[in-house]
Amino acid sequence: MVIILIMIIKRPAETIAINKGNWLLIYGRRKTGKTFIVENFIKYDEFFFIKRDRLIIEKKEWKDYNYDTLKELLRRDLSLGKTVVIDEFHRLGEDFLDFLHAIPQKGKLILISSTLHLSKKLIGTSSPLLGKFGEVNIGLIDLRDVLRAMKIKQKGKKDTLEKAVLLREPLVVNLIGDGDLADVILKLKFTSPALLGEVFTEEDRKLSGIYEGIIRAISIGKATSGEICSFLFSKKLIKKDDPSIIQQYFTNLVYFGILGRISIWNKNRNVYKHISPILRIFYYLDEKYNFAERDISKRELQSYLDEIIPKIMEDSLRDLLGQILGMKIFIYEASDLELDGIYSKFKKPKVALEVKWEKNIRNEDIKKAEANLGRIRVPRKVLFVPDKKGLQSDDIEIMDIDDILT
């Protein structure tokens, strides 16, 4: 007998945000759990799903409706103060936006979309619906929510936290099982690119190529707009090596939760990072090792993952500590020193972070971290490691997974 355990990860912050508003746009990249959250944690009266052919399915009784019937039902239910959900609403087209503008703002209306183009039209400055809808961006699952759901640690603290970072992608939740990271990546080899799904389907092919070029550049360590622009120019995706011409692309990718933007401490520059570890891994492997076009053994893949996982953990832990501290996050870069994080409050640095993500942390590693962190004048200096057992320092604070959950 095979027993399949399905992990349910509660997302209290997102649930509270959705419950607060009346007319809401829930948006974000594909497979981030938008529909799952609404179906399982939000009370609603009607739930309509729009198919690609614009056929409308009512999901409680699984009835089919046409567009005109949907409009009549929507007008009736909202006037009665009911809660109505329309999933993939963008497939109804711009005529639907005009309809929403015309009807009274009664009841609770939840629109769900994974397409950037129409989502931005709905709440853009020129939209007739400006001010009618609140926004809820559903990104990856909060790492702390994942860790709370992982009741049993895996092979150890390092393995647990690495799995937890991948489990921030809802798609991974029912795939990971007892397998390791390499198993998951192999299972998602052809699925990963589809995570971007319909995000840019309204853009023409040339624009989509630029978006993908940016995503690929960042996956192999091109972090600033100048570096990324030069990468795009070398691939002949843009005509000029001028970062100013691609700023809107960055804005869109950040807005839709695909990229994160982090400022460099004491410099008027930003760096860009992948938010999704799965997308970052896929495009890193494809750019460096042609992952999409050839068969790679699990053993070979594991050696490549050993290259990229520490960098993913650095980014994930920097963001997590920023959430816990409630402070603005920076990266520290100088000619002779780089630190994984600087956290400030009222423009004053309060915490410095270095992440050392290796299986065995030696005394020399502690001494080096003490020296690096000691060069920054902050009240609190943190070294994050996979497991702090047996590690001591009089000069810096050493943290591991147990400190996240306290």
Residue 388 lies in a domain: yes
133 with 148, same domain: the answer is no
Same domain flag for 180 and 318: yes
Q: Global pTM?
A: 0.86
Q: Is 97 found in the same domain as 37?
A: yes
pLDDT greater than 80 at residue 195: no
116 vs 334, residue with greater confidence:
334
Evaluate whether residue 230 is within a structural domain: no
What per-residue confidence (pLDDT) applies to 335?
85
- 344-376 residue pLDDT tens: 998 899 999 999 999 889 999 999 999 999 999
Closest by Cα among 258, 286, 252, 287 to 274: 258
Residue 206 predicted with pLDDT over 90: no
114 and 164 co-located in one domain: no
Res. 4 pLDDT band, cuts 50 70 90: very low
pLDDT value of position 3: 38
The rounded distance, in Å, linking the Cα atoms of 284 and 308 is: 8
Q: Which of 137, 167, 199 is the last residue of a domain?
A: 137
Confidence at residue 27, expressed as pLDDT on a 0 to 100 scale: 87
pLDDT tens-digit map of 212-240: 899 999 999 999 999 999 999 999 999 99
173: nearest Cα among 184, 162, 160, 161: 184
Residues 57 and 159 in one domain: no
Last residue of a domain, one of 137, 161, 182: 137
- Residue 100 CA from chain centroid, whole number: 29
Q: In whole angstroms, what is the distance from residue 203 CA to residue 195 CA?
A: 17
Q: What is the pLDDT of residue 123?
A: 62
pLDDT class of 336 with cuts at 50, 70, 90 = confident
Query: Does residue 206 lie in a domain region?
Result: no
Dig out the tokens for 234 from the structure: 């070398």
pLDDT in tens, 274-319: 999 999 999 999 999 999 899 999 999 999 999 999 999 999 999 9
What mean pLDDT do residues 178-187 have?
83
Do residue 94 and residue 122 come from a single domain? yes
Strand order in the sheet with 134-137: 63-65, 56-58, 46-50, 83-87, 108-113, 23-27, 134-137
**Containing structural domain, residue 112:** 12-137
My answer on whether 22 and 154 are in the same domain is no
Q: Tell me, yes or no, whether 128 and 149 share the same domain.
A: no
For range 308-333, the mean pLDDT: 95
The radius of gyration of the chain from alpha carbons, rounded to an integer in Å, stands at 23
Instruction: Look at residue 300 in the predicted model and tell me its pLDDT.
Output: 95
- Tell me: do 32 and 148 sit in the same domain: no
Q: Tell me the CATH number at 347.
A: 3.40.1350
Distance of CA 171 to the CA centre of its chain: 12
Tell me the C-alpha distance between 376 and 337, whole Å.
10
pLDDT higher than 60, residue 152? no
- Asked whether 322 and 329 are in contact (CB, 8 A), the reply is yes
- Over residues 16-32, the mean pLDDT reads 90
Residue 343's pLDDT band (boundaries 50, 70, 90)? very high
pLDDT, one tens digit per residue, over 53-110 is 889 999 988 999 999 999 999 999 999 999 999 999 988 888 888 899 889 999 999 9
Q: How many CB atoms lie within 10 A of CB 359?
A: 9
Look at the chain and report how many structural domains it folds into: 2
**Strand duo 259-264 + 270-274: pairing:** antiparallel
Per-residue model confidence (pLDDT) at position 128: 65
Q: Where are the extended beta strands (E) located within 51-192? A: 56-58, 63-65, 83-87, 108-113, 134-137
> Sorting pLDDT into bands at 50, 70 and 90, what band is 117?
low
Whether residue 117 lies inside any domain: the answer is yes
With a cut of 70, say whether residue 198 has pLDDT above it: no
Residue matched to tokens 């920023």? 322
Considering the domain boundaries, does residue 36 fall inside one? Answer: yes
**What is the arithmetic mean of pLDDT over 312-331?**
95
116 and 187 housed in the same domain: no
pLDDT at residue number 209 = 83
> What is the Cα–Cα distance from 327 to 320, expressed in whole angstroms?
11
284 in any annotated domain: no
Residue 54 covered by a domain: yes
Among 94, 109, 137, residue at a domain's last position: 137
CA–CA separation, 218 vs 73, rounded Å?
46
Alpha helices in 4-156 (DSSP H): 12-20, 34-41, 67-79, 94-102, 116-123, 143-149
Regarding whether 99 and 51 lie in a shared domain, the answer is yes
The CATH number of the domain holding residue 91 is 3.40.50.300
For residue 156, how far is the Cα from the chain centroid? 25
Q: Are 238 and 212 in contact (CB under 8 A)?
A: no
Are 181 and 326 part of one and the same domain?
yes
Note whether residue 199 is domain-resident: no
